[in-house]
């Protein structure tokens, strides 16, 4: 089933809400948007995120995509995001979307 325009806009809105100095995972965004898989978020980010804070979206491991790692980690470090050994400290920097309140308790 193709991704709808509404789903794309929902993902874009969620990414746009991640504050400076915080990050979210593809999975966090997928759950908050009601999508069945984080891969859909990845696809949207690859095709429609140039005007968004794309660097604040990471894999569940806290590692950036290999082809973007240097740039992404630099941008995150400039925002004060804690990084250790090429990985973001998700326990400290992860943005808790209000939509996922039950997930964090």
Residue 65 CA, distance from chain mean position: 12
Domain positions in the chain are 5-93
pLDDT > 80? residue 101 = no
Alpha helices in the chain (DSSP H): 5-17, 26-33, 38-47, 69-78, 90-93
Residue 89: pLDDT over 90: yes
Give the tens place of pLDDT for each residue, 27-85. Answer: 999 999 999 999 999 999 999 888 999 999 999 999 998 999 999 999 999 999 999 99
Task: Report, at the CATH architecture level, how domain 5-93 is classified.
Answer: Orthogonal Bundle (1.10)
Confidence (pTM): 0.91
């Amino acid at each position: 089933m193709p991704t709808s325009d509404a789903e794309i806009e929902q993902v874009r809105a969620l990414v746009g809400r991640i504050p400076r100095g915080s990050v979210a995972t593809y999975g966090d965004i997928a759950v908050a948007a009601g999508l069945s898989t984080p891969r859909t978020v990845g696809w949207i980010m690859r095709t429609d995120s140039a005007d968004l804070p794309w660097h604040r979206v990471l894999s569940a491991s806290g590692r950036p995509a290999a082809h973007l790692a240097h740039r992404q980690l630099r941008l995150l470090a400039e925002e004060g995001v804690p990084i250790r050994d090429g990985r973001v400290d998700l326990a400290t920097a992860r943005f808790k979307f209000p939509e996922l309140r039950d997930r964090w308790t």
